[in-house]
Homo-oligomer: A and B are copies of this chain.
């Protein structure tokens, strides 16, 4: 069934006025079958028109019909949410835990960008270009909680997402990885709005983002790991029963609006390591399930490999394939580990809203959203 033939599915957006929420709206307003039906925000905004209460920060205007919608509180019984086939959450972590749980308990399906349930042993943590197979734990999640319909799916931290896509390509081609070192140069939009004060970042680098390094080091292993045979438990990176990847991350903030850059070194388990040509080819030839399923948000290339020695660059490359792919460049030998390269992700699209949406599209294909 092609996207244009699918019948429309009503969707809700939690945290609709925030940075990620705005991206959900921008992306969903032209979606072939998801139709924005309910917008949730804080009680301060509830009851008012979206266009009036939102400090819209994107360079495309608020879609007119969305601007006129009345914002609801983030409660499952607020008008509209009950009819939604899926609810996307762009909520901040300090409120996401309770609200998402309330929606799930009300038998709603939540695809969340928040971190709260990423480490939950019942919740899949899915990067749509990497591990949609983890959706198979959903029946177990529903059963454990005694829910007929409701469940939560999370997507990964934005910088983790940019990292695991090329890592997945390497694992797919060459087997388990042993060691990964990554330094990120992250955009200000990753911190939301108002987020990073301009006095902190103009003509500056902030070499610390709270909690971010632990997220990268931990999430990478859940995402690249497997499920046990009856789909009831994640093996933290149990790909072929190997031990976890040893990940060391340092995260920094730089004066870039959108686009997280990662400087990565990798050591393979197998020895001798593949050649640079083999690695380059593995990146270029990487195909993933989202592409096989041909879901609407899947990019034509999951990884774009750049030949120019000074690419990828956030300002020039973040918009490739509508921000739904990962750029990779500078693939070359690492004197310490095996290979080093640079990767780039659009942190607010594939790193956030696009991942949630693509995850839901895949769930639709798999019959998990109806």
Contact = CB atoms under 8 A, between A and B. Distances in A.
Interface of A: 19, 57-61, 179-181, 183, 185, 188-189, 193-208, 210, 217, 246-248, 250, 252, 254-257, 261, 263, 265, 309-320, 329-330, 334-337, 340, 342
A59 B205 contact: no
Contacts of A59: 315-319
Contacts of A311: 207
Nearest to A217: B335
Contacts of A250: 183, 263, 330, 340, 342
Nearest to A57: B199
Most buried by B among A254, A311, A319: A254
B248 A336 contact: yes
Contacts of A257: 199, 202-203, 315
Contacts of A336: 179-181, 246-248
A196 to B, nearest CB: 5
Contacts of A210: 309
**Quick one: copies of this chain in the complex?**
4
A225 to B, nearest CB: 17
B193 A196 contact: no
A62 to B, nearest CB: 11
A57 B202 CA distance: 12
Contact of A315 (B180, B204, B265): B204
A255 B198 contact: yes
Contact of A198 (B58, B181, B198, B265): B198
Given A194-B199, A198-B198, A202-B315, 4 more contacts: A193-B197, A202-B202, A205-B314, A257-B315
Contacts of A312: 207
Contacts of A252: 185, 261, 263
Contacts of A208: 309-310, 330
A318 B19 CA distance: 20
Nearest to A261: B205
A218 to B, nearest CB: 11
A255 B185 CA distance: 12
Nearest to A179: B336
Contacts of A200: 57, 194, 198
A200 B19 CA distance: 12
B188 A205 contact: no
A240 to B, nearest CB: 21
Contacts of A199: 19, 57, 188-189, 193-196, 257
A194 B199 CA distance: 7
Contacts of A57: 199-200, 316
A296 B370 CA distance: 42
Contact of A197 (B194, B206, B263): B194
Contacts of A198: 188, 195-198, 200-202, 255
Contacts of A204: 256, 313-316
Nearest to A183: B183
A207 B254 contact: no
A245 to B, nearest CB: 10
Contacts of A246: 335-336
A133 B189 CA distance: 46
A210 B309 CA distance: 9
A36 to B, nearest CB: 22
Contacts of A207: 261, 263, 310-313, 329-330, 342
